Amino acid sequence: MTVFARTIARPTGPPGGRGRSRGSRAAALAALLATALAAPTTASATAPGGHASGGPLAPTGLRLDGRTTDVVTDTAHPSFAWTVRDTGRAEAQTGYEVRVAPATASGGKGRPAAGWDTGRVRSANATAVPYTGPALVADRTYTWTVRTWNKEGAASAWSAPATFDTGLPAATDWSSWWLRADDGALTRGDFQVTRPVARARLYFGAQGIVEPHLNGALVQPSEVLDSSVTDYDARVLYRDLDVTAQLRRGANTLGFMAGRGQYGGQPVFTAQLDITYTDGSTATFGTGPSWRTTAGPVTGDDFWYGETYDARKAAPGWDAPGHDDTGWTAVHALFPVAHPVSLAQGRPVTALDTTTTAGWSPAALTDGTDNSTDASEGYHSKIETTPDTTKWVQTDLGSEQPLRTLTLFPARPTNDTSGDLIAAGFPVRYKVEVSDDPTFATATTVVDRTGADQPSPGTTPVTLTTDTTARYVRVTATKLPCTSAGCTFRLAELGVYGARPATGYDTMTALQADTSPPTRVVQTLDPVKETRPADGVRVYDFGQNRTGRITLAAAEPAGTTATVTQGEILDANGRVTTSNISFSAADPPRQTDHYTFAGSGTESYAPHFTYAGFRYAELTGLPDDAKVTVTAQVVHSDVATTGRFSTSDPLLDKIQDAVAQTQLNDLESIPMDCPTRERHGWLGDAGDSDQEAMSNYDMQAFYAKWLGDISTSANADGSIPSVAPANGGQGAWATDPAWGSAYPQIVWDTYTQYGDPRPIAANYAQVKAWVDYLATISDADHVVVASPTSWGDDWLSTVSTPHDYFQTAFSYLDASLLAKMAAVLGRTADAAHYDAVADQVRTGFLSRYFDPATGVFGNGSQLSYAMPLVLGLVPAGYEQSTLDRLVQDITAHDDHVTTGFVGTTYVYQALGAYGRNDVALALAEREDYPSFGYMVDQGPGTIWEKWPDSSAPDGTSSKDHIGLGGSIGQWFYQQLAGIQPGGQATGAGAGYGDLTLAPSVVGDLTHVSATQQTVRGTVESSWQRHGDDLTYHAVVPVGSTATVRLPLLGGTASTVRENGRTLHAPGRTAQSDPGVTVGEASGGTLTMTVGSGDYTFTVTDG
């Protein structure tokens, strides 16, 4: 037996195993852990509770924080999950053991790291096991493995090991600086590697987009468009890349190309390379003032309209050691990522006078940002005409503090039209005083430099030492520097420090690990067709809409410029048009890239800082006889495909393919409305499609990141802008409750889908603020009447529904979801309160919008009936009449929906929930306007923003929009295939602990098949019929219990068999079948409860 040491869950020593005795124990434990993890099969062969042949198999699908590969975490308690496997039916995990160990020579700046062994834990939890071992050490690689016990007490083999990296979670882990770069600039820094390297990680993040290069090559050629889009002033997400193999002994060079992306200002970025040598020593290299920069070949960078690249301006070898950068300039280094925290940070500022505009304000003097940035330029006095003018500014520390150091940080405006003004407004003569009197009638002078002109400090902060106590600090300028614009006194920041200031992040933004899937080039495609609609014009057809970028390769004379325009449709002349993705006819062509050749032989190009949504690409600017190779690189967030759906109807399969492709095209670090015109994270579009998305793709880590974007975009009053990240556009993206409802919906849906309560815990306070905000825009009857905006009366529907109607229904839904979240977190008082709030909204809704005498809801539209049916707002006894009215309206419209973004999902779900999937199928199989069949028959292989086939430049004609498509995609999986995740009612059974399998055998369909790779394993629901005979195949993963509602095509006279046993037959007693509990047969359905296993049921007529 392999001996495995265990640590307790609550370590008694200092974090990280510091101290001689603790460190020795940690080192010994790490060695044992490494041994066990290196040979998991040996460790399990004679493990306690070992199983006989045919028992549980080793767990697979190991996940940490929702990721299976390229995992990085900067949280203290990451969450483990795995897929339990067992060969028996109705099996369940009854226990687990997790082992975590630091990998050999795994970094950590020399700090010892302990391992962790949970021991055998009696629990069925396999979806969200928090790490509770010794503190994880920064910049480490850890390995972990797990084994499980089944109901019989048999242990599985140990899983194959998985790994994760810890990032740099604390400010003290960072030594790099933030750099501000010109758009399209190249930046570089040289460093030495002195010994053989065991491990190296590059950490980098940006406000904007940066492309990392190391020693003459891209670090990760397939990973593009970092950093992920966020509210950049609130947080920047950093990536963690393994660069061990790319380092060399001796001279090395790290470089970056920088672009704006969706950031509103010039790119700002930081990077730090942490190295562990084979002897255990460490080294760190990062961005800083010594870095150099120059203009690059990207001369135009517009995220929406396209990139301009002049290869004649390229600098060959710029990213390699030995490059001559003497002609380059010093980079604009802002400040270190981490700094001593000032006693003045966040404290009030008063001044003799001030100019408050464009980032300048008194508050900016003490906000913790140690240089000028777009959002925080610093303090700016009133502008004077002569230098001999006295100005002062001071801060109040709140109480008397012991002071040791005062620092004056020079301003360097980022928005001054006069250019780069280093130390702008720094006083020529000045003094610094401290006092306990805000009037400074009595004061202690720290320094008096009023007797002579002082040289400009340039970019270097002026640090003054003292040894005193005081509450107030004042800087008085007695002579001002002057420019042609006037004379001013300016400072970027005033730092005040005691003897041992804490280390914290500079407050420009928060820096966090990016745990979401990276954006990658996932496929390269050749065109399926090339046409020449005019001289000098080549049009390439790639078969269907995708998101990505065009690459071209050709040899042309220097100065030749190729133009590539990418679009979804062609005009009447067969040329690419971007009219349908424009807001007006006056818009210049979007998605248009320009490449100017250097004349250096065959040259290749792909855009660096943008992507496009397109089926077609038009190339102009080259001679007709030019030899050119054009391909399309498919680019999107690299989410795993987890769902498959197919039917006997080619049209439905075509719609499913279009929905899945549209969803994938719209994932570019945020869930977008479309990848062409706007590229924004519209909440309504995401809320309409999240359940479809989670059926087709692994969205756990992706949504966790985006929920953080919603939270950082929220307004102080609790309102949620309709776009996240808003990036300062909260006013433009005004609140609409129908859009904001996506926030609580996705929080709840990710919990029920993946079984991890952390999204609820992380977002609970903000969801609560949102629901409380809804009350402030509602009247005394709890009806929403004062929404800041409404994005239409059911966006792009063919029949309108008053927005206050569905906004109030969403208010009810959100309060209900919040009550459920409160219950999951054990907040019983909140649960009761928000249940009561939901009841109040329901009462007001029915009083205002339902006429019990006529049975009419709202204005009688399809949305008016469908939404209350799905949300449970219909009074008892009115369900059937409400359903009948919905069906009658659909029939009156010749089996077409009249709904838009808000209503279409509710129509499909209402029909499914109330047993009318025959009507839903009739909707789904239409091929005339308005229908999904009409969309896919017309092309370009994706779902449109609106029902008409429009190319109008009106801001609503996108051909790649997920808002409508989520409705039918969700219906495919949950109704036709019948895979319905549990936990929706109360949260119990979340993460497919419970699920329902309720296939709908309707219309002329002869088979439907769906599989989903859930957090617990594979769920399958497939049926095939021949007349009144039905074969139904179901797979239920270990740890799940499924309620199966099996259609009896021959009614209660049907015979149901499984595994050679008769489960139901007229006049016969059901035989027992392992894993199956047979319930009642009624209404043409046999209800059964089944445990894990693979089942094939046959239903025959008699």
CATH for 535: 2.60.120.260
Do 80 and 227 fall into the same domain?
Answer: no
Residue type, 925: E
> What is the average pLDDT across 3-7?
29
Tokens of 280: 């255990």
Contact 682, 724 (CB under 8 A): no
352 and 471 in a single domain? The answer is yes
- Asked if pLDDT for residue 284 goes beyond 50, the answer is yes
Q: What is the mean pLDDT of residues 682-694?
A: 98
How far, in Å, CA of 805 to CA of 868, rounded?
10
Contact (Cβ atoms closer than 8 angstroms) between residue 254 and residue 212: yes
Question: Is residue 840 one of the residues assigned to a domain?
Answer: no
Residue pair 266/195 in contact (Cβ under 8 Å)? The answer is no
Give a yes or no: residue 539 inside a domain. yes
Q: How far apart are CA 590 and CA 302, in angstroms?
A: 9
Q: Cα(first)–Cα(last) distance of the chain, in Å?
A: 58
- Cα(673)–Cα(663) distance, integer angstroms: 9
Domain containing 628 equals: 519-637
817 occurs within a structural domain: no
CA 391 to the chain's CA centroid: 47
* Spatial separation of the C-alpha atoms in residues 310 and 559, rounded to whole Å: 8
pLDDT in tens, 137-150: 999 999 999 999 99
Verify that 205 and 103 share a domain, yes or no: no
Look at residue 416 in the predicted model and tell me its pLDDT: 87
Mean pLDDT of 1046-1070: 93
Tokens 């769902």 sit on residue: 643
| Structural domain contains residue 914 | no
- Checking if the pLDDT of 31 tops 60, the result is no
Closest CA to 694 of 458, 984, 1003: 984
Q: What pLDDT sits at residue 32?
A: 42
Report the C-alpha gap between 1015 and 982 in whole angstroms. 13
* Domain shared by 145 and 229, yes or no: no
pLDDT in tens, 290-335: 999 999 999 999 999 999 999 999 999 999 999 999 999 999 999 9
Closest CA to 201 of 131, 103, 305: 103
3-state secondary structure 290-350: CCEEECCCEEEEECCCEEEEEHHHCCCCCCCCCCCCCCCEECEEEEECEEECCCCCCCCEE
Residue 570: its H or E element: strand 569-570
With residue 406 as reference, give the H or E element that holds it.
Answer: strand 391-409
Indicate whether 350 and 494 sit together in one domain.
yes
- Tens-digit pLDDT profile for residues 599-619: 999 999 999 999 999 999 999
pLDDT class of 421 with cuts at 50, 70, 90: very high
Residue at which a domain ends, from 336, 358, 381: 336
Q: Which tens digit of pLDDT belongs to each residue from 1064-1081?
A: 998 888 888 999 999 999
CATH number assigned to the domain comprising residue 1037:
2.60.420.10
Strand 306-310 with 338-340, pairing: unpaired
Q: How many of the other CB atoms lie within 10 Å of CB of 97?
A: 23
Q: Please give the average per-residue pLDDT across 262-287, as a whole number.
A: 96
- In this structure, are strands 529-534 and 537-554 parallel, antiparallel, or unpaired? antiparallel
pLDDT tens sequence across 530-589: 999 999 999 999 999 999 999 999 999 999 999 999 999 999 999 999 999 999 999 999
d(CA 203, CA 568) in angstroms, rounded, equals 37
| pTM of the predicted structure, to 2 decimals | 0.94
For residue 388, give both structure tokens.
Answer: 């001999």
**471 and 563 share a domain?**
no
| Rounded CA separation 774/330 (Å) | 51
**Within a domain: 711:** no
Q: Which pLDDT value is given to residue 105?
A: 54
Give the model confidence (pLDDT) of 763-792 as tens digits. Answer: 999 999 999 999 999 999 999 999 999 999
Rg (CA), the chain: 32
Over residues 881-920, the pLDDT tens digits come to 999 999 999 999 999 999 999 999 999 999 999 999 999 9
> pLDDT (tens digit, 9 = 90+) per residue, 323-346?
999 999 999 999 999 999 999 999
Average of pLDDT values for 626-641?
Answer: 98
**Final residue before a domain boundary, out of 305, 336, 367:** 336
41 has a pLDDT exceeding 60: no
What's the CA gap between 620 and 1093, in Å, rounded?
A: 58
CA 576/CA 615 separation, integer angstroms: 10
| Digit-coded pLDDT (tens) for 832-848 | 999 999 999 999 999 99
Q: Same structural domain for residues 108 and 199?
A: no
Taking the C-alpha atoms of residue 116 and residue 341, their distance in angstroms, rounded to an integer, is: 34
The C-alpha atoms of residue 944 and residue 935 are separated, in whole angstroms, by: 7
Query: What distance in Å separates the CA atoms of residue 1064 and residue 989, rounded to the nearest whole number?
Result: 28
Average per-residue pLDDT for the chain: 94
Q: What is the pLDDT of residue 455?
A: 97
Percent of the chain whose pLDDT exceeds 90: 92
Residue environment code for 125-161, b if the CB has 16+ CB neighbours within 10 A, otherwise e: bbbbbebebbbbbbbbbbbbbbbbbbeeebbbbbbeb
- How far apart are the C-alpha atoms of 458 and 102, rounded to whole Å? 45
Q: Is residue 888 part of a domain?
A: no
Q: Pairing relation of β-strands 994-997 and 979-981?
A: antiparallel
Confidence of residue 50 (pLDDT cuts 50, 70, 90): very low
End residue of a domain, out of 637, 652, 667: 637
Whether residues 377 and 450 share a domain: the answer is: yes
pLDDT for 928-958, tens place per residue?
Answer: 999 999 999 999 999 999 999 999 999 999 9
**Are 127 and 114 a contacting pair, CB within 8 Å?**
no
- What does the pLDDT average to over 427-445? 98
**DSSP secondary structure of 22-77:** HHHHHHHHHHHHHHHHH-HHHHHHT-TTB--TTSEEEEEEEEETTBSSS-EE-SSS
Cis peptide before 227 (omega within 30 of 0): yes
Position 922 in a domain: no
Same-domain check for residues 46 and 147: yes
CA distance linking residue 364 with residue 349, whole number of Å: 9
- In the predicted structure, residue 730 carries a pLDDT above the cut 60: yes
In whole angstroms, give the CA distance from residue 771 to residue 838: 10
Residue 986 dihedral angles phi and psi, to the nearest 5°:
-135, -10
Average pLDDT over residues 350-366: 97
Q: Would residue 93 count as lying in a domain?
A: yes
1030 vs 934: CA distance, rounded Å:
31
Measured CA to CA, the distance from residue 856 to residue 858 in angstroms comes to 7
300 and 351 together in one domain: no
Q: Is the domain of 310 the same as that of 210?
A: yes
Does 400 lie in the same domain as 317? no
What DSSP state is assigned to residue 914?
A: T
Structure tokens at 387: 């230098």
The confidence score (pLDDT) of residue 104 equals 72
Give pLDDT, residue 54. 64
Q: How far apart are CA 499 and CA 392, in angstroms?
A: 26
Say how far apart CA 228 and CA 205 lie, in whole Å. 9
**Residue 241: predicted pLDDT:** 98
Taking a C-beta distance cutoff of 8 angstroms, is the pair 771, 814 a contact?
yes
Beta pairing partners, 538: 619
Contact 903, 801 (CB under 8 A): yes
Q: What's the average model confidence in pLDDT over 991-1019?
A: 98
Examine the pLDDT at 95 and tell me if it is beyond 70.
Answer: yes
Say how many C-beta atoms besides its own lie within 10 A of residue 323's C-beta: 18
Domain count, the chain: 5
